[in-house]
Amino acid sequence: MVNALEVPADALIRRLADKLRGEYGQVVRPPHWAYFAKTGVYKEKPPGVEGWWYVRAASIMRKLYKTGKPVGVETFRVIYGGRERRGFSPPHFRRGSGSIARRILQQLEEAGLVSKVPGAGRVLSPKGRSLLDTTAREVMEELSRVKPELSKYI
């Protein structure tokens, strides 16, 4: 049985983002301000990729799967943070946007993919874990068509 950690992360996140856009598109969708907002204070411009909200939501789901314990918004701010370039001054680490992480977690919770643990953060629900596992299986089946030696892991 293949799980979400045994397939390439980029392929899994891409496929999961497509599923979130299609099946859960009524609940998980970017707010009106998402196309103008930067993802952190260290960024100069907002993301230029269309559908970045779904990619971030898929990435957050994979991070929740990977940790296996409750994760809060502040932890996601650190995970999605980056280096702020300050001209001639040395660069410093800055945390990412908390509003984006919070909104995505709230939407995933409304869709039933994430559940809240009071005082600790959020954890992946059984429905979310099942979605990630089935998506990982689909990705592995696709990879096994390209490389037949991977078919033993399905």
Percentage with pLDDT > 70 across the chain: 99
12, pLDDT greater than 80: yes
The model carries a pTM of 0.92
* Spatial CA neighbour of 29 closest among 119, 104, 101: 104
Mean pLDDT (the chain, rounded): 92
Q: What is the pLDDT of residues 109-147, one digit of tens each?
A: 999 999 999 989 999 999 999 999 999 999 999 988 888
Cβ density class 42-73: b for 16+ within 10 Å, e for less: beeeebeeeebbbbbbbbbbbebbeeeebbbb
Topology at the third CATH level for domain 9-153:
Arc Repressor Mutant, subunit A (1.10.10)
Residue extents of the structural domains in the chain:
9-153
Neighbours of 112 (CB within 10 A): 14
